[in-house]
Amino acid sequence: MTHTLKLGLQASAILFASVLTTACNKADDTGLEYAPQMYEPIAYEPLKQIHTNTVNPMGLNMRTPVVGTVPSGKLAYYSHIPKDSVGTAERRLRNPYSYTKANLEEGKVLYTRICSHCHGESGAGDGPVGQKFKGVPNYAAGSYKTMNDAHIYHVIQWGRNRMMPHGSIVNPEERWKIAMYVRVLQAGKGPDGLADYVKVSRDSSEMTDRATQSPVLEAQADKGSTTPGQGDQARNGTAN
């Protein structure tokens, strides 16, 4: 009886192995699906469609988000100021971060990684890409030296002229810190100006008081939007 049982188990093992071998003899064959309920959940998944959804329109699991829905982790990621309204951004946006040494140094790191290939290490528009394609501004020349934090923030987010938008690359906090470091480069001293900037911010309130950050037009860094939290009406399928 025991011998017969052993033979039966051995035969079953051989048969099972042969089935697996036969089922997986092609490179693109996924083989047998073990525990299919782990791959095909009962709950509807928006990015996975196995069977026709009998509840939702058109039989799809994915639905259009409710108007005004904010994706997780994207709150305030995009402002409601249109990309061609940099003047509005100058007046309405405000930098929520102080001009501390840590924030400026982080802004320098982010600028070096993301911006210097076009704008150059000193902000003179002489980065390797800027030298080839031309047209990259010098932060310390003309009207560029008076841009406030909000102006720079908006351009980082939406881009301007030949500059592509970088809103998907850096989050709002990182944009403000880059903007602060660009303000350092506006002095025309390049990265060496960071030490002077930090020294000034320690000795006086000129750089820490957001109301004196060289406003452009009607821009005042200590003034918020006249309609906070409103902006344009949300629309499905667009960022704003």
Distance CA 48, CA 32 (A): 20
Q: Would 183 be classed as within a structural domain?
A: yes
Quickly list H helices, the chain: 2-23, 86-92, 101-114, 116-119, 128-133, 149-158, 172-185, 193-203
Mean pLDDT of 74-103: 87
The count of structural domains within the chain is 1
pLDDT at 224: 44
Q: Would 131 be classed as within a structural domain?
A: yes
pLDDT 10s digits, 145-157: 899 999 999 999 9
Q: Would 132 be classed as within a structural domain?
A: yes
Q: What is the three-class DSSP state of 52?
A: coil
Q: Would 58 be classed as within a structural domain?
A: no
Least confident residue range of 30-34, 47-51, 193-197: 30-34
Task: Kindly state the tokens that stand for 163.
Answer: 């500059």
R_g (Cα) of the chain, nearest Å: 29
Q: Would 71 be classed as within a structural domain?
A: no
160 DSSP 8-state letter = B
Task: Kindly state the tokens that stand for 210.
Answer: 């957001």
Q: Which residues of 112-147 are buried (b: 16+ CB within 10 A; e: fewer)?
A: eebbbebbbbbbbbebeebeeeeebbbbbeeebbeb
Q: Residue 190: what are its φ and ψ, rounded to 5°?
A: 65, -155
Q: Would 2 be classed as within a structural domain?
A: no
Q: Would 1 be classed as within a structural domain?
A: no
pLDDT 10s digits, 167-221: 989 999 999 999 999 999 998 888 888 887 776 665 443 443 344 444 333 333 3
166: CATH: 1.10.760.10
What is the domain extent for residue 138? 86-212
Other Cβ atoms less than 10 A from the Cβ of 202: the count is 12
Instruction: Annotate 57-98 with DSSP letters as a single string.
Output: GGG-S--PPPTT---TT-TTSS-SS-TT-HHHHHHH----S-
Distance CA 191, CA 198 (A): 12
pTM for the model stands at 0.59
